[in-house]
Amino acid sequence: MVYWSRMKLRSIRSVSVRGKRVLVRAELNVARNASGRITDDSRLKAVVPTIAWLRSHGARVVIATHLGRPDGKVVKAMSTKTLTRPLSSALRTPVQFVDQSVGPKAETASAALKNGEVLLLENVRFNPGEEKDDASFSHALSLLADIFVLECFGTAHRKHASVVGVGRYLPSYAGFRFEEEVTVLSKVLEHPKRPLVIILGGAKISTKITLIGSILKRADALLLGGALANTILKAKGMQIGASLNEPDMIRLVRVLNLTDTSLHIPVDVMVSAPGSKPHVRAVGGVQHRESILDIGPDTVELFARIIKSAKTIVWNGPMGKFEQRPFDRGTTQIAKVVGRSRAYTVVGGGETVDALERVHALKKVDFVSTGGGAMIEFLEGKHLPGVELVRDYR
């Protein structure tokens, strides 16, 4: 049986929380610009239903989360204190803040909470024990609560103290959004409306090769773009010039059924070379000094035709060097086609979401996963530590 088949989780709905301190590991690593302003508040909104339910049922809510990658050091610009105002607005209630994630001050603040009140802890990644799943840090977090709720699917593939370690000391349950992520991603591969079209992009095929092999057996069409497609082109013996690729993955790529009729790779590409303007090349015609940085117009047309026939779409990863114009064209054009589709659509990954937002199509998507890497690992059947923590095997 496939890992995600008929999966059930222990829901927070199944336990009484009145008067209990509930530690919620939330996914609040929101996108921000250079000045620190939040540019995408979808992760804030995603945690609202669980916290609102906990408050309405008399829980005393303690929120743990991370922001950025401080690598176990205190970085003022990554303090979660900056989240208190937007989080208060989203929850429509004041959110208290304590400048520790563990320790006496955090314990005092947690103990002082009244039913329905909310406390936000300082960035858990300021503590070097977080990413090491350190037992002492996990235990210190557990002293802040009576119950643990996992509401961070985007970090569920990480074996961190605040994701799984604390669960060794407290009864653990899944939050509403966490449950929804697992349910949607399970059903979309187990019982999809067909044709099922999967679109995968991004830089590294090494992070998605297992998924590609699995998807080829389940999808009606698999569309590949981005630098990961370069490695496949090279494995098929085509010239890719100076393009980004993973030579170490060539042998593994050749194990895949590259002649499978459901597999679709670029037929033309947008290239760039020193001293010349970006231009289109047919696949196989890429010159020695040229780098493939986007899919070409014929590929967009081919992919669009396949997407239009879909009844279910799953998309993760850009089609090119999305952060640099004009190499964002392939991704944004695919985003427009996906936005116009009437298929049930699931997307994940920051750049994918950004592309849909740019063409005002994000609201037309049925489900936006809060996980990028976690979404990929779950779909390929890997056992995610966070999911295992709250999985109900009964």
List pLDDT tens digits, range 26-43. Answer: 999 887 877 778 877 888
Which residues, in sequence order, are CB contacts of 60 under 8 Å at separation 6+?
19, 20, 21, 22, 110, 113, 114, 115, 116, 117, 119
* Same topology between domain 12-177 and domain 185-379: yes
Contact 364, 347 (CB under 8 A): no
Catalytic site residue from 373, 381, 382, 391: 373
Burial class of residue 342, CB neighbours in 10 A (0-12, 13-18, 19+):
exposed
The Cα-based distances of 355 to 117, 122, 132, 195 in angstroms read 37, 31, 34, 23
Catalytic site residue from 69, 73, 254, 350: 350
User: Is 350 one of the annotated active-site residues of the chain?
Assistant: yes
Catalytic site residue from 10, 43, 55, 177: 43
User: Is 43 one of the annotated active-site residues of the chain?
Assistant: yes
Structure tokens at 263: 């597999």
User: Is 204 one of the annotated active-site residues of the chain?
Assistant: yes
Which residues, in sequence order, are CB contacts of 183 under 8 Å at separation 6+?
none
Q: How many CB atoms lie within 10 A of CB 297?
A: 13
What's the N-to-C CA distance of the chain in angstroms? 16
Average pLDDT, the chain: 91
The string of DSSP letters for 174-237 reads: E-HHHHHHHHHHHHHHHS--SSEEEEE-SS-GGGTHHHHHHHTTT-SEEEE-SHHHHHHHHHTT
Which residues, in sequence order, are CB contacts of 12 under 8 Å at separation 6+?
22, 50, 53, 54, 147, 149, 173, 174, 175, 176
Confidence (pLDDT) at 4: 54
Spans of all domains in the chain: 12-177, 185-379
Give every residue of the chain whose pLDDT is below 50, as ranges. Answer: 1
Confidence (pLDDT) at 6: 65
- Domain 12-177 class? alpha beta
Classify strands 268-272 and 279-282 as parallel, antiparallel or unpaired.
antiparallel
Confidence (pLDDT) at 345: 96
Structure tokens at 186: 């399970």
Catalytic site residue from 8, 204, 218, 391: 204
Q: Could you say which architecture CATH assigns to the domain 185-379?
A: 3-Layer(aba) Sandwich (3.40)
Structure tokens at 389: 């923590």
